[in-house]
Amino acid sequence: MQREEQKFVADHPKSASLYERAQRSLLGGVPMNWMKKWAGKFPVFVAEAHGAHFTDVDGQEYVDLCLGDTGAMTGHSPAVAAEAIARQSKQGITLMLPTDDAVWVGEELARRFGLPYWQFTLTATDANRFSIRIAREITGRPKILVFNYCYHGSVDESFITLRDGVAGARRGNIGPPVNPTETTRVVEFNDLGALEAALAHGDVACILAEPALTNVGIVLPDPDFWRAAAEIARKAGTLLILDETHTICAGPGGYTREHDLRPDMLVIGKPIASGLPAATYGCSAEVAAKITARIHLEDCDTGGIGGTLAGNALSLAAMRATLEHVLTPAAFAHMIPLAQLFADGVAAAIAGANLPWHVTRLGCRAEYLFHPHAPRNGGEAAAAAEFELERFMHLYALNRGVLLTPFHNMALMSPATSAADIAAHTRAFASAVHELTG
Ligand SMILES: Cc1ncc(COP(=O)(O)O)c(C=O)c1O
């Protein structure tokens, strides 16, 4: 690790100097707090990014398997989106009035995800927050339910975990507004008995869930989990909100369409406008009718749902270009086999060294975990994390021109990613494993 840290510092003098200068104007020396989480003494400062690659200010080139933690799953600045953004930016950026792109995008989202009505926000966090508000409003219930070690953005209610079976604030939760047990019930993923018991209290407005957990490593649902969970929710009068922000990796209609799930509401953000701030949430006709009946014209701007820049013309132009030309079925047909190639390369190195690790794939996303088999829930996955080992693997890859996300060991494919890019990771991973195991 010391050798890799020294190499990193020696290879990045300009990033080092920018980071030092940034200490005087940016809190923690970065524009956003978790940009510090990269392995290595400081973050790499980017000069430019195209497709699946970027170049840093020191002239080093990288294969990007982080892709802005899914914000750039489209590849960086896909030409057709960049053109739409440039065009719209000269024709009005934000108006508080709709453009025809909004109608096209609403129709396309309905076609892809099977829910008829849509609204827009700037972040997936906001889309989740507003969906929760709607669920609370129409059910008249105060609480939500999440799965242990979920992540849905900076949604206050979601920062709760189970420790030895007892719910409490998640480690690192900064300034929680209230104890999250007041707002939230939390159970382990894939535990239908616990779900049923939690909903039996009759106070849960909605389940907010990723169809497969992706933010504590990948945790796949048991084959019958969602059919049974949806039935339990329906009987309890609890709405089901599926957050597809990461699981869009499963296919053009997300995990929802791939597996024919029927949520009451659905959220997706991040790559939907090729990385320009934009997100959306959709709802069923029943939810739409109930919430519409409760929003009165005079108060509709002060109801706690909204954002001045939400639904702006620029985001919608980018969303239209992205949905029409970038995140297409053909793109997924290219990306998914590449994730399999990544997983095969990692699995071969793990098997070759007899390591008690494994790799999981979900669509065009793959992830390795320092554990012999796939975890069934967030608690198991979190217990298998090895922060120092993770940092070593990330830094080792970075020093050989491959960027993984700074959170766990995730790799994502874009339409611009190539087999040669994956081979670069496979070489770096195999070499790290070889050095670790002697
Ligand atoms: C599943 C999921 N939902 C929502 C979010 C929040 O997205 P944003 O930070 O863009 O609001 C994230 C971010 O990682 C996420 O992984």
Q: 401 is written with which tokens?
A: 């021109």
Q: Give the span between the Cα atoms of 14 and 31, in whole angstroms.
A: 17
| Residue range 69-91, pLDDT digits in tens | 999 999 999 999 999 999 999 99
Residue nearest (by alpha carbon) to ligand 1 atom 15? 152
The dihedral formed by the CA atoms of 214, 151, 407 and 78, expressed in degrees to the nearest 10: 70
- pLDDT-derived band at 93 (thresholds 50, 70, 90) equals very high
Ligand 1 atom at minimal distance to the Cα of residue 270 = 10
Mean pLDDT of 220-238: 98
Ligand 1 atom at minimal distance to the Cα of residue 69 = 14
Cβ proximity of 235 and 246 under 8 Å: no
Residue ranges of E strands in 17-138: 46-50, 53-56, 61-64, 117-121
* Ligand 1 centroid to residue 34 C-alpha, Å: 13
Position 155 scores a pLDDT of: 98
Ligand 1 atom at minimal distance to the Cα of residue 279 = 10
- pLDDT-derived band at 407 (thresholds 50, 70, 90) equals confident
| Residue range 318-362, pLDDT digits in tens | 999 999 999 999 999 999 999 999 999 999 999 999 999 999 999
Q: Mean pLDDT in the chain? A: 97
Residue nearest (by alpha carbon) to ligand 1 atom 3? 152
Pocket probe mutation, ligand 1, options 208, 214, 243, 245, max atoms within 8 Å of Cβ: 245
Q: 50 is written with which tokens?
A: 């195209």
Q: 166 is written with which tokens?
A: 């007892």
* Ligand 1 centroid to residue 392 C-alpha, Å: 25
pLDDT at 438 over 90: no
Of 393, 386, 127, 415, nearest to 277 by C-alpha is 127
pLDDT at 174 over 90: yes
| Residue range 179-202, pLDDT digits in tens | 999 999 999 999 999 999 999 999
* Ligand 1 centroid to residue 103 C-alpha, Å: 25
Pocket probe mutation, ligand 1, options 70, 152, 242, max atoms within 8 Å of Cβ: 152
- H helix count then E strand count, the chain: 14, 16
The ligand 1 site (C-beta within 6 Å) comprises: 69, 123-125, 151-153, 210, 215, 243, 245-246, 269-270
| Residue range 12-31, pLDDT digits in tens | 999 999 999 999 999 999 99
Residue nearest (by alpha carbon) to ligand 1 atom 5? 153
Side-chain-side CA neighbours of 166 within 13 Å: the count stands at: 2
pLDDT > 90 fraction of the chain, expressed in percent and rounded? 96
Judge if pTM exceeds 0.95. Answer: yes
Look up residue 204 and give its amino acid.
V
Pocket probe mutation, ligand 1, options 208, 246, 410, max atoms within 8 Å of Cβ: 246
Mean pLDDT of 217-238: 98
- pLDDT-derived band at 275 (thresholds 50, 70, 90) equals very high
Of 250, 276, 244, nearest to 361 by C-alpha is 250
* Ligand 1 centroid to residue 124 C-alpha, Å: 5
Position 150 scores a pLDDT of: 98
Ligand 1 atom at minimal distance to the Cα of residue 244 = 1
Ligand 1 atom at minimal distance to the Cα of residue 210 = 1
Of 180, 247, 186, 238, nearest to 213 by C-alpha is 247
Pocket probe mutation, ligand 1, options 37, 125, 249, max atoms within 8 Å of Cβ: 125
